[in-house]
Amino acid sequence: MSASQLTITQQAAALRSREVSAVELAGAALAHVEAHDSRLNAYLTVTADAARQQAAAADRRLREDGASASPLCGVPVAIKDVLCIDGVETTAGSKILKGFVPPYTATSVQRLLDAGAVVVGKTNCDEFAMGSSNENSAYGPAGNPWDVERVPGGSSGGSAAAVASGGVAYSLGSDTGGSIRQPAALCGVAGFKPTYGRVSRYGLIAFASSLDQVGPFAHSVRDCATVFATIGGHDPLDSTSEASPVEDPLASLDAGVRGMRFGVPKEYFGAGVEPGVRDRVEAAMRVIESLGGSLEEVSLPSTDVALSTYYIIAPAECSSNLARMDGVRFGHRVDASSLTDMYLRTRDEGFGPEVKRRIMLGNYALSSGYYDAYYKKAQQVRTLVAREFESVFTKVDALVCPTSPIVAFRRGERSDPLAMYACDTMTIPVNLAGLPGISVPCGFVDSLPVGLQFIAPRLEDAKLLRVAYAYEQATEWHEMHAPMVEATA
């Protein structure tokens, strides 16, 4: 296994023992992009020069005071292209932002840079994070490292593929309705969505502001906890940032699950779950019992309307957020004879079909005469979804269920929007309620990864990571590597 395929923990140890330098790690990560990204298309922008400079600075920092340096110091990372970096083109996977170079850096990224992280590049994603397959990117779909003809999931498909392919130990993505957890499941890596407000959204190009959350992909739960310990915490630049202190996610990571109660939502095991996925998740639940956890069936009755609720609230918020994409101040612009014509032609050329679909849905839901019937009603149902979770969490410590009802599918197999939206049935309710959720590998169906999802009460991110870590350490699924990794090891 090459140096770039090690976990954060392993790379940090190798850096401190001088087995490898940060410059060498950056070189290995960039070489991986050069060798594989023509097939994988995981990156939209590669920041090679900046990465080498950051790596050289990390080496100096480690030489001068390695004992106090962050575990992330000198470790390469990939960043989803919805997170702004000062001086680096940021497109959100859309033609309308082609050429946009932000003059500021997202707080989550800045905290990584302050810790000495080395940014390799910006990763591919569904346009404005709207999609579950990465097929909606204006710059072509990303491939799944287990089978490049299959989707990596979305919208953070490039970030998941960058980790699963062995190029970087971790990456950042965003999760609005499952866009970290679902691609993590389909690519066979860990993907963590923190409690809403736990990680700053400043510098994140907004899709749906009340749902978006930044989080990490990694090869292990410990690595996810390490990244969260760095990027989490209050940010005065984000008005939705949670003010209460973040519990150290590493302090209780090894505490296990003996005596903990796990709820199994019966609505998450319906007809849409593939038999193979169901079998792997049920096997995982037996592992949890063997570790001393107990299982009991619980009910979340509003699950069947959560998907519809989401597809009113999220498009409504996106139609408002994307109104600023008009070609006047930044990004793509079509010259025209009038201002109105410029607006219309710019947005027609700049936005893809899925984004246009959601903008129209959102404008309709917010329009006069329909606001109360759709948007207001959806917000009421959202409150009901959150209350059902709260009620269940008075009985159990965490929930366990599939992350995705299916494994990675071939490109083009789910061209029907409704079939695509159904991929997020088990992830969307978590965003509606603002809860933390994590996906970890739990087996394979036809050589394709299956994801196991854990869900915890709001602000109990440390407990969630502890639970996922206990399961992960009792199995070997997280140690399985995609064929693309094995071919270059």
Catalytic residues: 80, 155, 179
* 3-state DSSP assignment of residue 479: helix
Do residues 179 and 81 make contact, with C-beta atoms less than 8 angstroms apart?
A: no
Do residues 81 and 158 make contact, with C-beta atoms less than 8 angstroms apart?
A: yes
**Quick count: other Cβ atoms within 10 Å of Cβ 289?**
12
Do residues 459 and 469 make contact, with C-beta atoms less than 8 angstroms apart?
A: no
Please state, in angstroms and rounded to a whole number, the distance separating the CA atoms of residues 7 and 210.
Answer: 32
Strand partners, 121: 46, 78
CA distances 58 to 78, 291, 374, Å, are: 16, 40, 52
Please state, in angstroms and rounded to a whole number, the distance separating the CA atoms of residues 326 and 127.
Answer: 16
Task: Dump strand ranges (E) for 406-469.
Answer: 437-445, 448-455
CA distances 384 to 17, 305, 442, 455, Å, are: 53, 10, 31, 17
Please state, in angstroms and rounded to a whole number, the distance separating the CA atoms of residues 188 and 172.
Answer: 16
Cα Dmax for the chain: 71
Do residues 352 and 138 make contact, with C-beta atoms less than 8 angstroms apart?
A: yes
Please state, in angstroms and rounded to a whole number, the distance separating the CA atoms of residues 325 and 250.
Answer: 40
| 3-state SS record for 16-81 | HCCCCCHHHHHHHHHHHHHHHHHHHCCEEEECHHHHHHHHHHHHHHHHHHCCCCCCCCCCEEEEEC
